[in-house]
């Protein structure tokens, strides 16, 4: 009873028994996991709604809810509709006979990845006997594996979870993006492994904030809710969050849909330039956009505006809270956006000037490998990291009652996350994925992740039509 944060169980003193209101159950499985007798199972109520092929349970339930409330249907996490996942239609190559495979355990295998603009040419200077390459003055992020933790703000997740992600980033030689909620002072100790966001709400953004951290990300859009802003309800704006975000306690934290100073690529260029000047050109600037219909043209403009890294967030990307209609119907899959952006930047001779981070629907090491073969340099993950810490994808993050203590600011429920255990589990996940990436690379006869980038020869597709193949730049299996 105490495990359920959604008040499904209550004790009826008059009847001296526990009563269950099953309509409140969100299928989070917390009670199942903690039942000492292993006697609880959660099954859909077969008589709840009479559905047919046109009107499923969800669509009927949503109409009923809105008829009662007159409001927007909110949800959390990412789009859960079965279509739109191209990764499952792509298969990887493996060496046979010629170009032999590489054994990643016994032979060198490089996953180290540098993110940031690369120089157009490498200057070599002669020392008489040898030639030495002149180091690039362009700031880079150095990753020991091509995976970073995507933006999760203080407020959308609690400090326990932020710290666990930052520590896992430190131990695995990668980065955690603290999102748009400012920087809690406790996070300063991880500064070298943090990416700090400048979003439309400008929460917690000041000179000291920009000086901290390894990179700055300007968030234009987010895959789970392209074109709309963010909303952290006043109930979640505690004393600590109000100080970190620099807003009054208990007030709604609203990030407007647009940046009110960005209406063109020139405006974006100005903001990038200002941040670069303020930070003395010492750190790469990331611009994050949602994957939308004209991502390729937008990305071309972003590179010309001076960004060092573009993060493209596909429609399967997650969030703490979004209108369900937006989450499930706006944007495009990351695979298509990524391939078209990589193509366009290559055609325009701009690809070297920027790195690409793919995100929004990366579920496994094979998704990472496929994304890199489609043109990404690295991938952001978020949902997978939360699942590693216990999330059961019940999609109720927006309620602030996360039963696993992750997306809640409630001081009591937050304690359900053991930061040490959470750090270990997330670090393990990254390690496991990295080992699998090495195995897949070895199988393809590749000894460096960089050699896979945009190398679509290593991909083949099943069940896609000619036009889809053309956009992805991938051939059918058997060809």
CB 214 within 8 A of CB 234: no
Query: Does residue 404 interact with ligand SF4 by CB under 6 A?
Result: yes
d(CA 70, CA 93) in angstroms, rounded, equals: 52
Beta strands 378-381 and 147-149, pairing class: parallel
Nearer to ligand SF4, 9 or 114 (CB): 9
Query: Does residue 42 interact with ligand SF4 by CB under 6 A?
Result: yes
Query: Does residue 382 interact with ligand SF4 by CB under 6 A?
Result: no
Query: Does residue 321 interact with ligand SF4 by CB under 6 A?
Result: no
3-state secondary structure of 172: helix
User: Given the rule CB under 6 A, which of 22-30, 96-104, 169-177, 222-230 is the region that contacts ligand SF4?
Assistant: 22-30
Query: Does residue 241 interact with ligand SF4 by CB under 6 A?
Result: no
Smallest gap from Cβ 386 to ligand SF4, in A, equals 5
CB 448 within 8 A of CB 146: no
Phi, psi of 256 (to 5 degrees): -60, 160
Residue 146 burial by Cβ neighbours in a 10 Å radius (0-12, 13-18, 19+): buried
- By CB under 6 A, the count of residues binding ligand SF4 is 27
Smallest gap from Cβ 388 to ligand SF4, in A, equals 11
Nearer to ligand SF4, 272 or 391 (CB): 391
d(CA 441, CA 420) in angstroms, rounded, equals: 32
Query: Does residue 332 interact with ligand SF4 by CB under 6 A?
Result: no
3-state secondary structure of 215: strand
Query: Does residue 402 interact with ligand SF4 by CB under 6 A?
Result: yes
d(CA 342, CA 347) in angstroms, rounded, equals: 9
Interacting residues with ligand SF4 between 406 and 465 (CB under 6 A):
406-407
Beta strands 459-461 and 90-92, pairing class: antiparallel
CB 230 within 8 A of CB 284: no
Contacts of 145 (CB under 8 A, 6+ apart): 111, 113, 172, 173, 174, 430, 433, 434, 437
User: Given the rule CB under 6 A, which of 26-34, 116-124, 176-184, 293-301 is the region that contacts ligand SF4?
Assistant: 26-34
Structure tokens at 467: 């036009």
Query: Does residue 477 interact with ligand SF4 by CB under 6 A?
Result: no
Query: Does residue 218 interact with ligand SF4 by CB under 6 A?
Result: no
Nearer to ligand SF4, 200 or 395 (CB): 395
Smallest gap from Cβ 73 to ligand SF4, in A, equals 16
User: Binding residue for ligand SF4 (CB under 6 A) from 386, 413, 437, 444?
Assistant: 386
Q: Largest Cα–Cα distance of the chain, in whole Å?
A: 94
Task: Dump strand ranges (E) for 130-271.
Answer: 131-133, 141-143, 147-149, 176-177, 194-198, 215-219, 230-232, 253-255
Query: Does residue 76 interact with ligand SF4 by CB under 6 A?
Result: yes
d(CA 135, CA 70) in angstroms, rounded, equals: 60
User: Given the rule CB under 6 A, which of 97-105, 276-284, 374-382, 385-393 is the region that contacts ligand SF4?
Assistant: 385-393
Query: Does residue 30 interact with ligand SF4 by CB under 6 A?
Result: yes
Nearer to ligand SF4, 86 or 380 (CB): 380
User: Binding residue for ligand SF4 (CB under 6 A) from 332, 338, 371, 394?
Assistant: 394
CA angle, residues 53, 58, 60, in degrees to nearest 5? 75
User: Binding residue for ligand SF4 (CB under 6 A) from 145, 197, 319, 395?
Assistant: 395
User: Binding residue for ligand SF4 (CB under 6 A) from 392, 418, 447, 448?
Assistant: 392
Structure tokens at 320: 């703490």
Query: Does residue 396 interact with ligand SF4 by CB under 6 A?
Result: yes
Smallest gap from Cβ 421 to ligand SF4, in A, equals 16
No. of helices (H) and no. of strands (E), the chain: 15, 21
Query: Does residue 4 interact with ligand SF4 by CB under 6 A?
Result: yes
Query: Does residue 162 interact with ligand SF4 by CB under 6 A?
Result: no
Q: Footprint of ligand SF4 on this chain (CB under 6 A)?
A: 3-4, 6, 8, 25-31, 42, 76-77, 386, 391-397, 402-404, 406-407
């Amino acid at each position: 009873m105490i495990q359920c944060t959604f008040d499904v169980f209550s004790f009826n003193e008059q009847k001296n028994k526990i009563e269950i209101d099953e309509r409140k159950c969100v299928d989070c499985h917390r009670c199942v996991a903690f039942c000492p007798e292993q006697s609880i199972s959660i099954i859909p109520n077969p008589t709840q709604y009479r559905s047919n092929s046109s009107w499923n349970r969800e669509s009927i339930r949503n109409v009923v809810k809105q008829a009662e409330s007159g409001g927007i249907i909110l949800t959390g996490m990412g789009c859960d509709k079965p279509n739109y996942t191209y990764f499952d239609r792509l298969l990887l190559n493996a060496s046979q006979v010629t170009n032999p495979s590489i054994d990643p355990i016994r032979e060198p295998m490089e996953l180290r990845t540098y993110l940031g603009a690369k120089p157009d040419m490498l200057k070599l200077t002669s020392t008489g006997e040898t030639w030495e390459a002149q180091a690039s003055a362009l700031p880079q992020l150095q990753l020991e594996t091509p995976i970073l933790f995507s933006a999760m703000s203080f407020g959308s997740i609690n400090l326990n979870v932020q710290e666990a992600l930052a520590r896992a980033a430190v131990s695995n030689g990668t980065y955690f993006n603290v999102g748009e909620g400012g920087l809690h002072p406790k996070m300063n100790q991880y500064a070298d492994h943090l990416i700090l966001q400048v979003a439309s709400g400008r929460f917690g953004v000041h000179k000291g904030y920009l000086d901290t951290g390894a990179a700055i990300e300007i968030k234009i859009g987010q895959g789970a809710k392209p074109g709309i802003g963010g909303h952290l309800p006043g109930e979640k704006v505690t004393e600590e969050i109000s100080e970190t975000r620099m807003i009054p306690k208990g007030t709604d934290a609203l990030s407007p849909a647009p940046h009110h100073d960005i209406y063109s690529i020139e405006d974006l260029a100005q903001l990038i330039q200002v941040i670069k000047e303020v930070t003395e050109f010492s750190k790469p600037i990331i611009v994050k956009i949602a994957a939308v219909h004209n991502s390729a043209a937008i990305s071309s403009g972003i590179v010309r505006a001076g960004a060092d890294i573009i993060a493209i967030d596909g429609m399967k990307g997650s969030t703490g809270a979004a209108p369900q209609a937006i989450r499930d119907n706006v944007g495009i899959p990351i695979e298509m956006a990524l391939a078209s952006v990589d193509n366009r930047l290559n055609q325009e001779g701009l690809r070297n000037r920027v790195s690409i981070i793919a995100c929004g629907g990366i579920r496994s090491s094979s998704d990472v490998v496929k994304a890199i073969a489609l043109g990404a340099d690295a991938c952001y993950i978020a949902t997978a990291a939360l699942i590693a810490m216990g999330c059961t994808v019940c999609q109720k993050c927006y309620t602030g009652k996360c039963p696993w203590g992750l997306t809640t600011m409630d001081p009591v429920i937050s304690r359900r996350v053991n930061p040490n255990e959470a750090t270990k589990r997330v670090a393990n996940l990254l390690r496991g994925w990295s080992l699998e990436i090495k195995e897949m690379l070895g199988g393809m006869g590749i000894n460096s992740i960089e050699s896979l980038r945009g190398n679509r020869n290593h991909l083949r597709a099943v069940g896609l039509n000619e036009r889809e193949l053309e956009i992805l730049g991938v051939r059918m299996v058997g060809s």
